[in-house]
Structure 1
Amino acid sequence: MEKLLQWSIENSDPSNVLQQSTTQEKDNLDPEIIDHILGKSDAVRMREAVEAVLNPETSFDNKEIALDNLEMLVEQIDNAIDIENLNLWPQILSFLSLPEASLRTQALWVCGTAVQNNPKAQKAFSEKGGLTLILNILKDENEDMEVKSKALYALSGAIKHYPPGLAQLEKDGGYDVLLRLLETSNDIQLLRKIVFLFNTLLVQDPNTVSMRIKEKGLAKKMINILDKYGEQDEDLTDKVLRTLLAELQHSSQSLTEDEISELRKLFPVLKTKYEKCALSPIEWEELEKRIQQRKLV
């Protein structure tokens, strides 16, 4: 203990740094004691969190704590990049197959946080097969809905502002997966996230995404959602209308005449109900103008 106190005092004085680096006392200190004083590095804490989840003897509660701690650590961009440097992506991605839904949810949260606005982490995640795994989760009809919701969070982080990720999404059939969910899911929270993701991608790459939307009939599915849920959920209605407006702004011919006709029928009711709380007055006006300009022949 006397050695520990002496080392701490001497290292607090910058004038002693050079001298201290050559003393035997420092070399003889137990690394665990130094960790106790200075705290473990983030890299060590990340590795320990992963090891805790991998350890079959770790309790369920402690695995949840480990994943929660890991998610907080990878909020820092440098730590997220270090996942690849520490070769932790294979283990983290293996957590997406854990039998407990709550642990899969937390593992997806870790992935989504790590890749958000982080091209280096996005690249590593995609190259390790992360996007493919997420799409498999979203395709699984028996998967827990909360897991799917967090999978959308991870998917969004993996492809937003990252063109190779968007290209990988298309290669892996991601558009079809998302459109299938829009068509079959009754979970409003999930529908909101999918529509918002398409809206974001339209802003990011309007040419490519607009083309895919038209090819795959996204507008029709979103109009069906308005018909089914439009008067029930303000947030979902707002997101759908904004996405349709963004699509029409990119190309006035991106919706078919039948789609425009259906939207024109729904518009007055939705505007009356949400005019003060959804789109801005300018957006309402522009959307109305665009759908009225396309008169049926």
Structure 2
Amino acid sequence: MKGERTLLNWALEHSDPNANLGEVARKIKNIDPEIIEAVLGRSDAVTMKELATKAGEKQTPTEIRVACLEELESLAEDLNNSRDIAKLSLWPLLCGLFAGTEDPLVRLHAFSVAAAAIQNDTVTQEGFLKACPLPELNLLLLGEKHGETKKKIFRCLSCLLKSDELFDKFFVSEGIRALVDVFTNFAHETSLMANALFFARFCIEEGRPSSLFSQALRTLPILTVDETAPYYEDWAFLKNCWDRPCD
């Protein structure tokens, strides 16, 4: 609306002073788009589409692709912009950047864009899941070798698991294996372990589906965790549920 008012004011300033408002409004529809862009500036939607397209070009240097994704992440934090990702059909392009064949930095920042976009909006989350269903996201988490990227995927999962149906899908589609993989092979990465344990505790405290998760807990490796570890409290909570299943 602000942009429309700006354009209307500009049109009034450059029109016959005797013309009525209706005539001016009708003339606006025929204004060259380049003139509109010059008056209002480029819309976020246009910018987002160009950024995503450039980020998806494998022949473009990695640093440029990453810069595009960083700017896109900033724009995606806005609710209207996050919803425009689906309207502009950008989710398939962005989810394509999650592939293991992609540059690790590009993959990391693509997940950052997704996490920023889906954090607080059900509509955007639904659009994301159409392009990257939960079983596929779990496999990406399981196959990811970089701790920072795994943390971004956990952030996405924390935003997405808001229904019994999605919790069930997480547990039966490699979700537990992905957690086991972190606890087994990434125990040396303190920050990632903290994220994984916080996520596991989140699953339990949400109360969905507790019996399934309690059974799955018994597949997790036993770890010796120092009481000074930053994630000790979450591990102790998890261990307590392991000893006394949260049914």
Q: TM-score range by the shorter chain?
A: 0.7 to 0.9
Partner of 2:116: 113
Separation (CA, whole Å) in 2 of partners of 1:36 and 1:84: 26
Separation (CA, whole Å) in 2 of partners of 1:148 and 1:220: 18
Partner of 2:226: 230
> Contact between 1:11 and 1:17, CA under 8 Å: does it hold in 2?
no
Gaps of 5+ in 1: 256-297
Which among 64, 74, 78 is matched to residue 76 of structure 1? 78
Partner of 2:4: none
Aligned to 1:21, the other structure's residue is in SS state helix
1:144 aligns with 2:146: yes
Separation (CA, whole Å) in 2 of partners of 1:6 and 1:128: 38
Superposition pairs for residues 40-55 of structure 1, below 5 Å? 40-55=42-57
Partner of 2:3: none
> Contact between 1:43 and 1:79, CA under 8 Å: does it hold in 2?
yes
Separation (CA, whole Å) in 2 of partners of 1:53 and 1:109: 13
CA drift of 1:216 comes to: 1.8
Which structure exhibits the higher relative contact order, with contacts defined as CA atoms closer than 8 Å and separated by 6 or more residues? Answer: 2
Partner of 1:21: 25
CA drift of 1:243 comes to: 4.2
Separation (CA, whole Å) in 2 of partners of 1:238 and 1:219: 20
CA drift of 1:57 comes to: 4.9
CA drift of 1:219 comes to: 8.9
Matched residue type, 1:164? E
The Cα offsets for residues 145-179 of structure 1, whole Å up to 9 and x where unpaired, read as: 222222222222222x2433323212312122212
Q: 1:16 to 1:131 in 2, by over 3 A?
A: farther
Question: How many residue pairs align between the two structures?
Answer: 235
Partner of 1:67: 69
Partner of 2:95: 93
Gaps of 5+ in 2: 1-6
The Cα offsets for residues 20-62 of structure 1, whole Å up to 9 and x where unpaired, read as: 1234xx4664312321321222222221111111234533222
TM-score by length of 1: 0.68
> Contact between 1:192 and 1:236, CA under 8 Å: does it hold in 2?
yes
> Contact between 1:95 and 1:107, CA under 8 Å: does it hold in 2?
yes
Separation (CA, whole Å) in 1 of partners of 2:60 and 2:220: 48
Matched residue type, 1:254? P
Superposition pairs for residues 133-212 of structure 1, below 5 Å? 133-140=136-143, 143-159=145-161, 161-186=162-187, 187-204=189-206, 206-208=207-209, 210-212=210-212
**Structure whose residues are more often helix by fraction:** 1
Aligned to 2:26, the other structure's residue is in SS state coil
Partner of 1:10: 12
Aligned-pair Cα RMSD in Å: 3.1
Matched residue type, 1:153? R
Separation (CA, whole Å) in 1 of partners of 2:43 and 2:117: 18
